[in-house]
Each structure stands twice: as C-alpha cells, then as structure tokens.
Amino acid sequence: CGRTDQQPPERRVDFPVSVVLPAGGTGERTGLQTPKQFCLFMGRPLISYTIQAVERVLWIQNIVVVVAKEHMDLMTDIIQQFRHRKVRAVPGGSTRHRSICNGVLALGEQEEEKERLLSADRPKVVIIHDAVRPFVEEDFLYKIAMAAKEQGAAGAIRPLVSTVIATTSEGYLDHSLERAKYRASEMPQGFTYDVIYQAYQRCTESDFEVGTECLHLALQYCGTNAKLIEGPPTLWKVTYKRDLAAAESIIKETLSRSACVITGGSEQAVPLADAIQKAAGALDMALDVIPNLMGDNCRYLLKEYNFIQVSVNRSCLSEVKSILKDLEAANQALLHPLVIILVHLSCPDELSISRAMPELAAFMDVASAANLRNILLYGIQVHQSKDTERWERSVLRVAEITSALIRERSPALVGQLLQA
C-alpha cells in the first residue's frame, strides 16, 4: 500500500522553491502563557500542523523555521517527535524582519553546502509564510510561487472586514478610508531569492527595527511591484484566544468527514453496517463498508482516521486488537488521534457485554493502553429488536453517538460502552 494520505494533485514547478516560516512570536494577543505556535491541538503544537501543510507539497524542497533562541530545543524536539522532513530550525533575531532575514540567509548557506555535494542551485523562489496560518493549501502556494517567479514578488491579500479609520493624536476620528481601494496584506508571500536577498542587504537599521511588511522592502529597495493575489479565508492568522477554538474546530472537522465500517466478514453484521452507513449519511458523515482491512482495503489504514468495527453476538476484542496493531504499524496516529468504535449487536436474551463485567474491564484496559498511543477506543452496544420502529431508533442512536464521539475525540470517554 502506497501512502495516499491527503496528497493533493502534483503541479509542475520546474524551479527550486524553499519556505521560511517565521515562528518567533510571543503570542501576547491570545492572552496565554504559551506562544500560539506552540499551543497544542489534540496533543500536537500548531507549528507542526503548518509544517505538515507545507512539507506535503512535493515541489517544495526546504523549509526553514525561525524560532526565538529559547525555543530552539523545543522546536528541534517537535521536528523529531512528529518526524518532519526537509525542515530545520534556525534562531531568530530581535524583530520580525531580522528573523525572516536569518531564515533567508540560512537557505543560502544550506544550498551552498549542497552545491559542493550536488551542485544544486539556490532556491529560485522563497515563500515566506506564518507559522500560525496552518490551513494554507498547495493550490495557493502554487499561485504565489508562480507569480513570484514571474514578477519578483507576490503576496496574499484579503478584503478588509472592518472599515479602516485614521485617528487624531487626541483619539478622535480624522477620516475613514474608502474600503474598496484597500486590502489586508496576509501570508504567504513569495519572492525570487535575489529580490528578497537584495532587499535585506539594502534596507536600513530602522527598517529592520520597526518594519513588518516584506512586500514594502521589495518595492522600496528593488523596485519590485508585488503581484497581489486574493486568498481564501482559511489563510487567516491564529491571533486571539478565540482563534485557537476556531482552529481546533477546523482540524476536528477535517478528521470527521468519513469513517470506515468493518463487518469482519459476518453476514449478520452487514445489514447493521449498511443501516449505520445510511443514518450517518444523514448526519453528513460518509461511511465505507468493508469486510476487513486486508488486500486492497489496507489503503484505508493510510487514509482513514475513523474505524467502526461491527460485531454480532460475540466478543470482538480480538478484531479490535488486530485493527490497533495494523494502525500502529501504519504509524497513522503520529499526527492525529485515530478513533475506533466497537459496535456490538446483542440479542435480547444474550448475556450482554455490559453485564459481563470482566469483559468490560478488559475493553477498558485495551482502551487505556491505546489512548497512550493516540488511538481513542469507544464501545456502543445495540440490542436486537423485531419491532421495526424501535430498531430504526436504535440504529439512529448508534449513528448519532458515533458522530458525536468522532467529532469530539474526547480522551476522557475512552473505554466507555455506550447504549444505543
């Protein structure tokens, strides 16, 4: 099975592109102790999501993350823990421009070293992107890279959400700007290596101290008029505390769109699996029903974050353990918590799993162990019924509980056996 996880379609970029991610912010605007880029989302720092968004782009060669000196060790640990590739960390300067400049210079050095070995070129284009904008897509990076190659500089813009006003020194309204003529300057921005390198060579100490806008330096010191490209709203910068909640919600939603239902080849499980599939569809979750994860179906191990094991009238802890083993082998839980839900269909006369306490304790133990490896295991028990209305209500509840568990990904509820 090849890795197909979220690889967007490849685009032709026949020149070398590198990325600088300034990540030196102190996060004062979130009102939190931890700088935003290091805030955890389901156990992983925001910066790792941004790196992931950039490193999965095949035509990007190198990524330099610029962090404050005191965060170098932390950053190195993050790169190692989440097995990021083509990334290295360099220490930042005292201002945003000094940090970006350090990143650009580091790209040059890196490439010089390589040159001796591989006679590779310096990057033709450097993309600068914020560490706290994790939802950038390949498509937009491509547009910025191409425009930068052609024009020398390019930057993302967004419409202004609020009217911008000029204030008097006494705190009164001076005038308001005509909204249509102005835009918010966002990230990513792209430059040919020569333009961004020269801009930083030529700019003044004062530019380094108080400036923030790279496009402005390119214009002032290289005469390069940047091409402005309107980006999607997902380019937004995680700035305030509320943005952390918004980011978490987007990440969780992305992980919750689909699931894979495994019947274990049991003929009795198939009708239940199909019914759950239908009910989940009405809740905007797309389910694929498969007998097992073998053969061609092992691709689900590499692209799916949620698994539902259906079992009828028997314990299936062994099946669950087998999925756990497969998922660990595929190393899928490294970047996101995975969810496994065991749906157990019991006959009314059967000694149910909930009453068989040793079985329940074993399930809880397996779940606790899996939780340590970033896999969230839950159980749902549904009772067979010949009353159609009652049965349909039960199936709907299975779907609702499944959807809630997958969307919320709550570690506090692992090992629970819920009743549908």
Q: How far, in Å, CA of 4 to CA of 416, rounded?
A: 32
What lies within 8 Å, CB to CB, of 199 at 6+ separation is 191, 214, 217, 218, 220, 221, 222
Beta bridge pairs of residue 19: 63, 127
Q: How far, in Å, CA of 23 to CA of 67, rounded?
A: 5
What is the footprint of its own copies within residues 168-227 (CB under 8 A)? 168, 171-173, 175-177, 179, 181-186, 212-213, 215-216, 219, 225-227
Determine, following the binding rule CB under 8 A, whether residue 358 of this chain makes contact with its own copies: no
Q: How far is the CB of 31 from its own copies (least distance, A)?
A: 8
- In the list 24, 93, 190, 415, the residue contacting its own copies (rule: CB under 8 A) is 415
Q: 298 near 4, Cβ under 8 Å?
A: no
Q: How far is the CB of 250 from its own copies (least distance, A)?
A: 6
Q: Which is nearer to its own copies, 161 or 329 (CB)?
A: 161
What is the footprint of its own copies within residues 255-314 (CB under 8 A)? none
DSSP 15: S
- In the list 42, 74, 105, 404, the residue contacting its own copies (rule: CB under 8 A) is 404
Please state whether 42 falls in left (phi above 0), alpha (psi between -120 and 50) or beta: left
The closest alpha carbon to 25, from 64, 71, 63, 62, belongs to 71
Determine, following the binding rule CB under 5 A, whether residue 400 of this chain makes contact with Mg ion: no
Q: Which is nearer to Mg ion, 55 or 213 (CB)?
A: 213
What is the footprint of Mg ion within residues 213-232 (CB under 5 A)? 213
Tokens coding 229:
């490209």
Q: How far is the CB of 9 from Mg ion (least distance, A)?
A: 29
Q: Choose the one of Mg ion, its own copies, none that binds residue 292, judging by a C-beta under 5 to 8 angstroms depending on kind.
A: none
Determine, following the binding rule CB under 8 A, whether residue 355 of this chain makes contact with its own copies: yes
What is the footprint of its own copies within residues 126-145 (CB under 8 A)? none
Q: How far is the CB of 369 from Mg ion (least distance, A)?
A: 46
Q: Which is nearer to its own copies, 110 or 151 (CB)?
A: 151
Q: Which is nearer to its own copies, 283 or 294 (CB)?
A: 283
b/e code 90-105 from CB counts within 10 Å (16+ = b):
bbbbebbbbbbbbbbe
Q: How far is the CB of 183 from Mg ion (least distance, A)?
A: 13
Binding segment toward Mg ion, per CB under 5 A, in 38-46, 131-139, 211-219, 334-342: 211-219
Burial of 268 (0-12, 13-18, 19+ CB in 10 A): middle
Residue for token pair 């835009």: 183
For the CA atoms of 78, 81, 84, 89, the dihedral, rounded to the nearest 10 degrees, stands at 30
Beta bridge pairs of residue 343: 310, 380
- In the list 289, 334, 364, 369, the residue contacting its own copies (rule: CB under 8 A) is 364
Q: How far is the CB of 352 from its own copies (least distance, A)?
A: 8
Q: How far, in Å, CA of 201 to CA of 345, rounded?
A: 70
